[in-house]
């Protein structure tokens, strides 16, 4: 990945993420997060993991973002009976906490000498090999994920169904 693409994608990623944090309208926030997800998929592709990039686009844009924006539109607060509970203090405290976590992570990353290594010679992940590994070595995790997703969807339907009171 060349440096220009990295810098542009990084700026777009952090800017759209920050937009999701600070935009006042929840719909705008959700759409800004969609831009962040697309940028993340492009980063994966630039790193050589094309399959993960496309999976990211399909799952996050096709499913997660649609679901989230739908939920935002479905759950408009009818009357804002909650007064703004010291919103400025909350925002400052949240931003400071996030900044402290970022500083700790950056110190740890840039002080560990074992991370300074060259990229391997192979820069691609062929889909055929991924599929073969999923069907042979990682068959049990794949089946477990299938059971987990089924259980999650059944649980979601049970939670959200109306006639269980």
Partner 1 sequence: MITLPAILALSAALFATGLGIALIRRNAILIFIGIELMFGAGVLNFVAFWRFSPDPEALTGILFAMFTIAIAAAEISVGLALVILIYRHHQTPELDAANRLRG
List binders of partner 1 among 13-32 (CB under 8 A): 13-14, 17-18, 20-22, 26, 29-30
Binders of partner 1: how many residues, by CB under 8 A? 85
Instruction: For the segment 91-120, give every residue that binds partner 1 (CB under 8 A).
Output: 91, 93-95, 97-99, 101-102, 105-106, 109-110, 115-120
160 near partner 1, judged by CB under 8 A: yes
Instruction: Give the shortest CB-55-to-partner 1 separation in angstroms.
Output: 6
Longest dimension (CA), the chain: 59
b/e 16-49 (16+ beta carbons within 10 angstroms → b): bbebbeeeeebeebbbbbbbbbbbbbbbbbeeeb
Instruction: For the CB of residue 39, give the shortest distance to partner 1 in the complex, in Å.
Output: 10
The distance of closest approach from Cβ of residue 62 to partner 1 in the complex, given in angstroms and rounded to an integer, is 10
Instruction: Confirm or reject binding of residue 8 to partner 1 (CB under 8 A).
Output: no
Residue 64 sits in the site that holds partner 1 (CB under 8 A): yes
For position 122 contacting partner 1 by CB under 8 A, the verdict is: yes
Residue 38 near partner 1 by CB under 8 A: no
152 part of the interface to partner 1, by CB under 8 A: yes
Query: Could you say which of 35, 47, 54, 61 contacts partner 1 (CB under 8 A)?
Result: 47
Q: How far is the CB of 116 from partner 1 (least distance, A)?
A: 7
């Amino acid at each position: 990945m060349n440096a220009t693409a990295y810098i542009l994608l990084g700026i777009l990623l952090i800017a759209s993420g920050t937009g999701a944090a600070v935009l006042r309208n929840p719909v705008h926030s959700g759409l800004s997060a969609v831009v962040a997800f697309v940028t993340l998929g492009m980063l994966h592709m630039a790193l050589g993991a094309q399959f993960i990039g496309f999976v990211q686009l399909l799952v996050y844009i096709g499913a997660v973002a649609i679901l989230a924006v739908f939920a935002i539109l479905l759950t408009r607060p009818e009357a804002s009976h909650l007064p703004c509970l010291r919103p400025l203090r909350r925002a400052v405290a949240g931003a400071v906490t996030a900044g402290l976590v970022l500083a700790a992570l950056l110190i740890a990353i840039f002080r560990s000498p074992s991370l300074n290594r060259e990229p391997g010679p192979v820069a691609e992940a062929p889909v055929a090999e991924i599929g073969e590994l999923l069907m042979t070595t990682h068959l049990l995790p794949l089946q477990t994920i299938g059971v987990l997703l089924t259980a999650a969807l059944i649980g979601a339907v049970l939670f959200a169904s109306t006639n269980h009171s």
